[in-house]
């Protein structure tokens, strides 16, 4: 009876260690995938480009396109033709 309890305790420890190894492997693999795919940086950078255009030029959009829409960036426009 006592040998059976020791065997059960040993089996529990081995299974726990194996589960921890598997979980660590999954964690490391998922973190490497997230880093290489740059999913988190894309979630931050894409919206920031729109906000940056609004901050710099007052128009929603990427700064390269938004600043072209800013009236101060256009050439001087005259509405009346001088005679």
List, for residues 59-74, the tens digit of each pLDDT value. Answer: 788 888 877 776 666 6
Distances (CA, A) of 54 to 5, 39, 46, 51, 57: 69, 24, 13, 5, 5
Residue 21 to residue 44: CA distance in whole angstroms: 32
The pLDDT assigned to 16 comes to: 94
Domain definitions of the chain by residue range: 1-37, 42-73
In the predicted structure, residue 6 carries a pLDDT above the cut 70: no
List, for residues 32-55, the tens digit of each pLDDT value. Answer: 988 887 777 777 777 887 888 888
The pLDDT assigned to 36 comes to: 84
């Amino acid at each position: 009876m006592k040998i059976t309890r020791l065997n059960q305790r040993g089996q529990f420890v081995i299974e726990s260690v194996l589960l921890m190894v598997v979980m660590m492997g999954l964690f490391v693999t998922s973190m490497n995938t997230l880093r290489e795919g740059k999913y988190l940086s894309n979630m931050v950078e894409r919206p920031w480009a729109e906000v940056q255009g609004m901050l710099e030029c007052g128009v929603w959009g990427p700064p390269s396109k938004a600043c072209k829409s800013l009236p101060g960036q256009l050439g001087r426009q005259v509405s009346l033709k001088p005679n």
